[in-house]
Structure 1
Amino acid sequence: MIEKEPDVHTPATLVRGGTSKCWLFHQVHVPAERGELEELLVAAYGATDPVELDGVGGATPTTSKAAVVSASAEPGTDIDYLFAQVGVGTGKVEWSSNCGNCATGVALYAVAKGLVPITGDRTLVRMRNRNTGAQLEGVVDTAGGLVHDFGVQTVPGTRAGGVAVGLTFLDAAGRTTGSLLPTGQTAQELRVDSGDPVLVSMVDAGAPVVLVDAGSVALTGSETVDQMLTHVPWLRAVRHAAAPLMGLTEPGEAPGDAVPKVGLVGKPVPYTTPLGETIAAEDYDVSVRMLSMNTPHPAIGLTSAVAVAAAGLLKGSVAFRAAGGPTGDWLRIGTPAGVVPVRCSDLRNGLPGRVTVQRAARLLADARIYVPEPSRPQAA
């Protein structure tokens, strides 16, 4: 009889949440210790390889994500999840942020796997992100009292339909730094390296974000993804200059590339999406172009969208200026993929108690991922 070494495999579920793909792992199947979990994810994703060929990673920041899910012991919370941004080609995992698109997938997963019981045509999933402490609610379409494999809800960035999930961030302001405005200013000039000062708003809502006034650097905020590639180096420099001012790093400490998130904000102008959709200036309120790690985001991360919407409430911020003033409950964000409406509600002392985005999710596969031992030599 032919013998082979024992299988080293990990059960996982691949989900699409919005415009991201994310492997979800139940906590019982993976190590609880962060270092061991990172080793497993790097090996499973093939994350030392820039194309992640020998692994399940998607080779882009929006498709090289993971989350570890468990039932929550916290009163009033159904699900805890730990988000992992698996670096592409770096062999490292960023643990400092959250991902709203993955949270959308977590909500559907929780219902589909029986972690949260169905409650009729819509099922509420109350979630806590273990990275940041953020509290979220996902309202999953369970029409007919059923979990649906497919749906017709779409989001900008793909024509594919999915199961409708309304995602709400609760009391999102200051979750990381303790304040919506970590520096106390709605807008300020930021000196980057030895260049001219850049006008920015530094905001903590959903995630810490530094928003650059596009007009102040002779840009529009409506650049294409390809055009944004040329601006990645100096936007990273903006991120690194802002990080210590926002209390995210100590002066002189090397910053990471997950937070603060960074991008351009500009006035609405007509543009065409990569899928050929024509967007008129009157269709939205602000143009936004964000980075995802060190790559232009093809749409917008939901945590960034929350920060932009919160900034839009603040008179004098770069988002408020670009929109030409207040826009009411809804801020329509023009992204490379199309318009993402975000609603701020339950305002208390100018801070939104609820920030909601309509999303879609779909479970793509249940799998066993065969994971190389981290110490095992790999063939060239």
Structure 2
Amino acid sequence: MTQTPIPYLFLRGGTSRGPYFRREDLPQDRDKLAEVLMAVIGAGHPLNIDGIGGGNAVTTKVAMLSRSGSEDADVDYFFAQLSVEKREVDFRPTCGNILVGVGPAAIEMGLIPARDGETSLRIRAVNTGALVEARVQTPGGRVEYAGETAIDGVPGVAAPILVSFLNVAGTSCGAMLPTGNTRDMIDGVEITCMDVAMPMAIARADAFGLTGHETVAELEANRDFYARMEPIRIEAGRRMGLGDVSKSVTPKFGVIAPARGNGVIAARYFMPWACHPSLAVTGSQCIAACALTPGTVAEGLGRMPDGSPVLMRIEHPMGSIEVTVDYENGDPEGFRIKSAGLVRTARLIARGEVMVPANILPVTGLTNQA
């Protein structure tokens, strides 16, 4: 056999898509796993022409699932972000959009049983330790993908999936404000370094001469912005305790501006070397937390809604995303995010086997299989 087959499901989760595997069907060794995933995705080519990636950071993502050994969770979700044009794999971050597909995928894989009507499960994000509760529509004990819920960035409508992120602050850096400050000055730009669901460095758009309402194409063409942003992001990562992040996708970078529509704030989210076509689920939570926290770079950009929990609508290049944030108010020392919830959708696109060249993964290379 010149190629090794690996069973997989292919799902859209939120505004991302990629293959979902059983963790047991992949090598346990991290270096070998990276080689296999690069072959699956076709990393190292702008079109991912020799794999099933889509030539964009939102379509070069991989989810690996297993029954959880934690008493608090049902399913463990291990995530990998692959580079499009480089042969690189980052196991440090998680992805909230791909996480939306974890519930349906876990049920389809038989990792957890479906209940009639709705199935609730708790998911542990292995990369960050975050705990997420997902509610999947399962009438008759089967995953329902059809529905009437629309999300900006995805055509059509589908069944709603409610995801609630629990204890989201400080999961990667140990604190919601990892530097101990609500604002840091880096290379003449005020930055808020924040860890809520995803470590981020957030700045006002006008600090870079941007409006914060540019299209993705306009931002992609503005290479001067990227050249200035990247050293700031790298220094922010160092100050956040993440070490050398020059080859890591975390922390992500965001620029914010006053909303122009019915949102509370506008944002552009960078992954980090390209602009997200809409907004990441985890990034939306971090930006919402930044907008609510007193003293951050978001202070004064718009009128924040009162009360808790509160619905935060964030404008992005393809529309907006709504995040429900439950928090305790007070000064920065007393401000605490309890949870953040979103309604998203997912769809199973394909199932089958993906082929990996035998010189990368011989059949006997899956040492965890008998």
Q: Assess same fold via TM > 0.5.
A: yes
Shift of 1:372: 1.6
Give the aligned length: 352
Question: What are the within-5 Å matches in structure 2 for residues 223-372 of structure 1?
Answer: 223-229=214-220, 230=222, 231-249=225-243, 253=244, 255-269=246-260, 281=261, 283-328=262-307, 329-345=310-326, 347=328, 349-372=334-357
Provide closer, same or farther for how the CA distance between residues 289 and 72 of structure 1 changes in structure 2, counting only shifts above 3 A: same
Structure 2 distance, partners of 1:265, 1:374, is 47
Aligned to 1:201: 192
Structure 2 distance, partners of 1:187, 1:310, is 14
Provide closer, same or farther for how the CA distance between residues 163 and 326 of structure 1 changes in structure 2, counting only shifts above 3 A: closer
Shift of 1:234: 2.2
- Partner of 1:244, secondary structure, is helix
Q: 1:127-174: CA deviations, max 9, x gaps?
A: 011111111111112245432243332211122323311111111000
Question: What are the within-5 Å matches in structure 2 for residues 112-131 of structure 1?
Answer: 112-131=108-127
Structure 2 distance, partners of 1:367, 1:160, is 25
Counting aligned pairs with the same residue, the percent is 31
Shift of 1:262: 0.0
Question: What are the within-5 Å matches in structure 2 for residues 1-380 of structure 1?
Answer: 5-191=1-187, 197-229=188-220, 230=222, 231-249=225-243, 253=244, 255-269=246-260, 281=261, 283-328=262-307, 329-345=310-326, 347=328, 349-374=334-359
Shift of 1:76: 2.3
Contact preservation (8 Å) 2:285, 2:323? yes
Provide closer, same or farther for how the CA distance between residues 154 and 74 of structure 1 changes in structure 2, counting only shifts above 3 A: same
- Partner of 1:308, secondary structure, is helix
Structure 2 distance, partners of 1:174, 1:7, is 42
Shift of 1:176: 0.8
- Partner of 2:101, secondary structure, is helix
Structure 1 distance, partners of 2:102, 2:317, is 25
Structure 1 distance, partners of 2:317, 2:192, is 21
- Structure 2: unaligned runs, 5 residues or longer: 362-370
Contact preservation (8 Å) 2:57, 2:84? yes
Aligned to 1:275: none
Contact preservation (8 Å) 2:199, 2:250? yes
Structure 2 distance, partners of 1:20, 1:198, is 31
Shift of 1:346: 5.3
- Structure 1: unaligned runs, 5 residues or longer: 192-196, 270-280
Provide closer, same or farther for how the CA distance between residues 375 and 6 of structure 1 changes in structure 2, counting only shifts above 3 A: closer
* 231-240 or 96-105: bigger deviation: 231-240
Contact preservation (8 Å) 1:61, 1:293? no
RMSD: 1.8
TM-score for the superposition, normalised by structure 2:
0.90
